[in-house]
Structure 1
Amino acid sequence: MSSEPTLAEADLAALVPEWIDWAEAARRLEVTVAKVRTMIRDHELAAAVPVAGKGQQIPAEFIQHDGLVAAPVKGLPGLLTMMHDNGYDDREIIAWLYLDQDFPGRGIDALVENRGTEVKRRAQAMAF
């Protein structure tokens, strides 16, 4: 029996270096908080409670700035949808993206660096 914590048990506060609340995400994306809520519901962004009592927050790295436009990191919405379809929740997906998966490095780094193909392939393989 493994003593490794499951994705759901991962310490998100230790894994994710910077969290932002929904209001800050809305400010960065230049949308309303209601739109951020919709983006989370539609799996364009993911949110979790990193520390008990803090409320849901979003990893800051999920929002990327390409020149003048801010948007979810390329490939993130498709990955979130695929993983949700395979039974993972936002907390588990965030943990998976921030754990070292030999991509090389973390999945979030691969997405930010536009190397998302391998991340998606590995996420698909997790369904089997």
Structure 2
Amino acid sequence: MTEEFIIFETAKLLKEKGFDWKCERTIDCNEIIRKYDYPQSMSCCTEINGELVEFLCPTLYVVQKWLREAKNIHICIYNCACGYGYEISKADNGTHIASSTYKGTNDGGEWDAYEEALEAGIQEALKLI
């Protein structure tokens, strides 16, 4: 089993939404993930001409946990005959916020992999903040 890390687009959204948990990895605009021996904060990330080009790169699970604990947003991944989808709700009471019905990339409107659906759900949740 391998750890699944977020993509660059998600890393940028996380920065915009205030993600500040320390990470052992960063990701740059070329989707290159760099590993450090000790956790990094956003202050370590590279800037060029005052614009960030490198961001913290947590695992999908860490972001899912951060959304739950820091933003009260729960992302639930489900599977069906068409593949995987997501439901977004409030973490404290289960109130429905959004779902992925027919938003996926496969012919059935879902995603072929659990991690793809989770990444899409995370991006959607970040846009709602």
- Max Rg structure: 2
More helix by share: 1
More strand by share: 2
Q: Does TM, scored on the shorter chain, surpass 0.5?
A: no
| TM-score in terms of structure 1 length | 0.30
Which has the bigger relative contact order, CA under 8 A and spacing at least 6?
1
